[in-house]
Amino acid sequence: MTRLVVAAGGGGDAVAAAMLDAALYGHEDQAVILTYAWDRLLVDPVPGPRGVHDFTGLEQLAPSVWAVPAEARPIAPAGSTLPRLAAELQHTFALIDPYQGAEGVTRQLDELVSLLEPTSIDLLDVGGDILARGDEPTLKSPLADALTLAACCQVNAPIRLLIAGPGLDGELPHEDLRGRLGPVVHTITAKDTESISSVLEWHPSEATGMLAAMARGARGTCEVRDAGLPILLTDEGPTVHEADLDEAFSRNRLARAVTATQTLEEAETYSREICGYSEIDYERNKAAWLDERPPLKLDPDTVLAQLDQFEAEARDRGVTHTTFRHITEALNLNGNQRQDLRELLINSRPEQYDAPLWHITTQPE
């Protein structure tokens, strides 16, 4: 028995897919998780997703499908979390290669379905931006979701669309999401997070991190991303909803537009036309800006003093939690210093670690 889970946006969606698969189906007969190698600039200094030719040590599953085992390595200067995920989790992680456009992703899915004859196929998106139209002003990263949604709708097999943690990506207003969600199929519990506990200690995903934190009881307001976007941590946060796949595709203008694309560049062009931007352009611009910045030394005394100032201002904004990614950005440190910063903060102030988030305590007396 084999199950197939498509992680719609890659990155944290792959981690959430592993957690949800264990929660729904148990720990036997691990699933194949089809996912992008797209970890953004915190992990990968090269803009955009990684393709097959960006790795060594991949294992071919089908003519167009390659698995990323623990022994695989991204070719420098690229980076990827997938080999470490494969080392720590029992699932098989297969690589979505978007450089052949939506037609290529569809071909990969067709080949996997023929090879595996899976008992179930789930398309999982954390946050719900896959349910967007494409012109929402709060939308930031629609391209990966649009490609996987377009591909899934071309496959001749039943596919269930699941939305975990509605609103956690901060890309669609809650009022818009509520009308697009179907029934709750599961509510993530603290026990469910145990299967990915070790991964949460190092993986940079903010949305999946918040999903796990809420399952463990965290409530309040969490600031994320470089811009400090506030996300509410509520009782509704750990829920997983089914959504109508065909309705999502009919609504998503970018997914419909990219269906016949044969290159990633074509898909980017449609994103610029429909959404007004390409998220890979944003990464290109940010990567160039980061390259121009001199590296900053992580001095413990200086960092903790800066943290005090950051927390004081965050408290004034009503913030109760934040992510280590956001702290790294807020203190003007480089992404490759995130893990060192994390260790410094946890060792210095362990009482504020609300795994995997950082708890901003109330003003001391």
Helix or strand or coil: residue 49? coil
Please indicate, yes or no, whether residues 328 and 188 belong to a single structural domain of this protein.
Answer: no
Please indicate, yes or no, whether residues 203 and 348 belong to a single structural domain of this protein.
Answer: no
Distances in Å between the alpha carbon of 292 and those of 173, 199, 219, 225? 35, 31, 38, 20
pLDDT score at 135: 85
Q: Is the Cβ–Cβ distance between 69 and 59 less than 8 Å?
A: yes
Please indicate, yes or no, whether residues 122 and 31 belong to a single structural domain of this protein.
Answer: yes
More confident residue, 170 or 240: 240
Q: Is the Cβ–Cβ distance between 168 and 129 less than 8 Å?
A: no
Please give the average per-residue pLDDT across 238-251, as a whole number. 98
Q: In what order do the strands lie in the sheet with 357-359?
A: 229-233, 220-224, 321-322, 357-359, 353-354
| Residue 363 CB-density burial (10 A; 0-12 exposed, 13-18 middle, 19+ buried) | exposed
Calculate what percentage of the chain has a pLDDT beyond 70.
Answer: 98
pLDDT, tens only, 157-167: 999 999 999 99
Please indicate, yes or no, whether residues 188 and 311 belong to a single structural domain of this protein.
Answer: no
Specify which residues 114 forms β-bridges with.
none
Q: Is the Cβ–Cβ distance between 112 and 230 less than 8 Å?
A: no
Please indicate, yes or no, whether residues 103 and 185 belong to a single structural domain of this protein.
Answer: yes
Per-residue confidence band for 333, with pLDDT thresholds at 50, 70 and 90: confident
pLDDT, tens only, 90-142: 999 999 999 999 999 999 999 999 999 999 999 999 999 999 998 899 999 99
- Domain-embedded: residue 279: no
Helix or strand or coil: residue 50? strand
Please indicate, yes or no, whether residues 144 and 21 belong to a single structural domain of this protein.
Answer: yes
- What's the one-letter identity of residue 198? S
Please give the average per-residue pLDDT across 77-84, as a whole number. 96
Q: Is the Cβ–Cβ distance between 149 and 123 less than 8 Å?
A: yes
Please indicate, yes or no, whether residues 36 and 128 belong to a single structural domain of this protein.
Answer: yes
| Residue 100 to residue 265: CA distance in whole angstroms | 9
Q: What domain range is 119 assigned to?
A: 3-221+236-258
Please indicate, yes or no, whether residues 27 and 172 belong to a single structural domain of this protein.
Answer: yes
- Domain-embedded: residue 194: yes
Of 232, 207, 182, 157, the C-alpha closest to 8 is: 207
Q: What is the pTM of this model?
A: 0.95
Please indicate, yes or no, whether residues 129 and 196 belong to a single structural domain of this protein.
Answer: yes
Per-residue confidence band for 227, with pLDDT thresholds at 50, 70 and 90: confident
* Number of domains into which the chain is organized: 2
Please indicate, yes or no, whether residues 64 and 167 belong to a single structural domain of this protein.
Answer: yes
- Domain-embedded: residue 72: yes
pLDDT above 90 (res 206):
yes
Please give the average per-residue pLDDT across 297-308, as a whole number. 93
Please give the average per-residue pLDDT across 245-272, as a whole number. 98
pLDDT above 50 (res 365):
no
- Domain-embedded: residue 39: yes
| Residue 78 to residue 321: CA distance in whole angstroms | 31
- Domain-embedded: residue 364: no
More confident residue, 223 or 42: 223
pLDDT score at 178: 87
Please give the average per-residue pLDDT across 248-265, as a whole number. 98
pLDDT, tens only, 32-41: 999 999 998 8
| Residue 307 to residue 260: CA distance in whole angstroms | 48
Residue-wise DSSP of 337-356: GHHHHHHHHHHH-GGGEETT
Please indicate, yes or no, whether residues 173 and 306 belong to a single structural domain of this protein.
Answer: no
Per-residue confidence band for 363, with pLDDT thresholds at 50, 70 and 90: low
